[in-house]
Structure 1
Amino acid sequence: MTDIAKLQAPSLADFELLAHAAYEGLPEAFRQLCDGVVIRVEDFPDDETLTEMECETPFDLLGLFRGVGLAQGGDVMQTGQFPNMVWLYRRPLLDYWAEHEETLGHLVTHVLVHEIGHHFGLSDDDMEAIEAAAG
């Protein structure tokens, strides 16, 4: 049996490593914007999130930012406020990856940048530049 026949889909732990490596590869100036952001990896969004985001299936959402970005005045932490968090959803990401011609690392970086970037008021052009500069 060849090595490729033994390959398995990345686990949640593998995805967490991939997500943190993608985050560390982002430009320093961008990472400073999101100091303290928590990255979580789950297989799927929970039912409440699917309903809130009006998703037809659990595969419709690749990632999600929850928190208060700089664009919403989140530069000052309030008492009792949860930290800014980005969720990456492993199974929808794997499904998307299987249907497109890009690396899994690139896809995770893209979703991470866009989830953080929209909530920090960055334009699509700004986010494209950040992705291009990512290591």
Structure 2
Amino acid sequence: MSGQAPTHAPDAARIEALARAALARIPEPFAAHLGDVVLIVEDFADDETLDALGIEDPFDLTGLYHGRPIGEKSLFDSGALPDRIHLYRRPILDEWVDSGVTLEALVSHVVVHEVGHHFGLSDDDMHALEDSAE
């Protein structure tokens, strides 16, 4: 049986494992600030989230950062919900099939992008962070 392609789509646990591995590769000084970030894998974003972002097709959203960027936090934020990175499994799998990149590379890309939002980084900064996490 070894060497055969999997017959089932990767489940949420597999996506989470890939995402946790990607988080573990994030270099310092960023890594020191990621310990409290909660990782959540769901099939799709809920309607409220999609509506708030003006997204009609749930397949258009692969991940989302919820929280305040590090630079906007203060001591008065105690009691606030923890920062969260949501990964949306079905859109990730759809993009995986369409893109031809490995699932590991795609999940890593989405995680790094969402971590970038956690730090308030620009897209250029995120590309540099992603390159250093490979």
TM-score, normalised relative to structure 1 = 0.88
Q: How many residues matched?
A: 134
The 1:121–1:61 alpha-carbon spacing in structure 2 relative to 1, beyond 3 Å, is same
**Could you list the per-position Cα deviations for residues 27-55 of structure 1 after superposition, in whole angstroms to 9, with x for gaps in the alignment?**
13222233311111001101111111111
CA apart distance, 1:103: 1.1
CA apart distance, 1:118: 2.7
CA apart distance, 1:75: 4.9
Q: What is the SS of the residue equivalent to 2:64?
A: strand
**Is 2:37 the counterpart of 1:7?**
no
Q: What is the SS of the residue equivalent to 2:58?
A: coil
CA distance in structure 1 between the partners assigned to 2:87 and 2:30 by the alignment: 18
- 2:132 maps to a residue whose letter is A
The 1:75–1:126 alpha-carbon spacing in structure 2 relative to 1, beyond 3 Å, is farther
Show structure 2 runs of 5+ residues with no match: none
Q: What is the SS of the residue equivalent to 1:4?
A: coil
CA distance in structure 2 between the partners assigned to 1:96 and 1:3 by the alignment: 24
**Equivalent residues in 2 for 1:44-123 (5 A)?**
44-71=44-71, 73-76=72-75, 78-123=77-122
Q: Percent identity, please.
A: 49
CA distance in structure 1 between the partners assigned to 2:11 and 2:61 by the alignment: 18
CA distance in structure 1 between the partners assigned to 2:52 and 2:84 by the alignment: 17
CA distance in structure 1 between the partners assigned to 2:74 and 2:34 by the alignment: 10
Structure 1 residue runs of 4+, over 3 Å off? Answer: none
**Equivalent residues in 2 for 1:119-130 (5 A)?**
119-130=118-129
CA distance in structure 2 between the partners assigned to 1:3 and 1:83 by the alignment: 41
The 1:2–1:38 alpha-carbon spacing in structure 2 relative to 1, beyond 3 Å, is closer
TM-score, normalised relative to structure 2 = 0.88
- 1:69 maps to a residue whose letter is P
CA distance in structure 1 between the partners assigned to 2:21 and 2:5 by the alignment: 26
Q: What is the SS of the residue equivalent to 2:41?
A: strand
